[in-house]
Amino acid sequence: MLFYRAALPLSSRTLSYLSGLLRRHRKTISSPWRRLTPGQQALLVLVHLRKGETLAEVAAGFGVGVATAWRYIREAVTLLARRSPRLEQVLRAAKRAGYPYLVLDGTLIPIDRVAADRPYYSGKHKKHGMNIQVLATPDGTPLWTSGSLPGSVHDLRAARIWGILRRLKAADLITLADKGYVGAGEHVRVPYKGHNKPASQKAANVAHAKLRGPGERANAQLKTWRILRKLRCCPLLAGQLVKAILTLQLREAG
Could you list the mean pLDDT of each consecutive 10-residue stretch along the chain, which spans 254 residues?
Answer: 88 96 96 93 97 94 96 97 96 95 95 71 86 96 96 95 95 94 93 91 94 90 93 89 97 87
Residue 86 is given by DSSP the state P
pLDDT value at position 59? 96
How many other β-carbons are positioned within 10 Å of the β-carbon of residue 113?
18
Contact criterion met (CB below 8 Å) for 140 and 218 = yes
pLDDT value at position 179? 93
In degrees, rounded to 5, the angle at the alpha carbon of residue 100 between the alpha carbons of residues 94 and 105 is 70
pLDDT value at position 225? 96
Contact criterion met (CB below 8 Å) for 124 and 158 = no
Query: Among residues 211, 106, 122, 121, which one has the least CA distance to residue 159?
Result: 106
pLDDT value at position 122? 85
pLDDT value at position 161? 97
Contact criterion met (CB below 8 Å) for 101 and 175 = yes
pLDDT value at position 112? 82
Residue 233 is given by DSSP the state S
Contact criterion met (CB below 8 Å) for 102 and 143 = yes
Go through 142-152 and write b for each residue having 16 or more CB atoms within 10 A of its CB, e for each that does not: bbbbbbbbbbb
Query: Among residues 75, 67, 57, 113, which one has the least CA distance to residue 232?
Result: 113
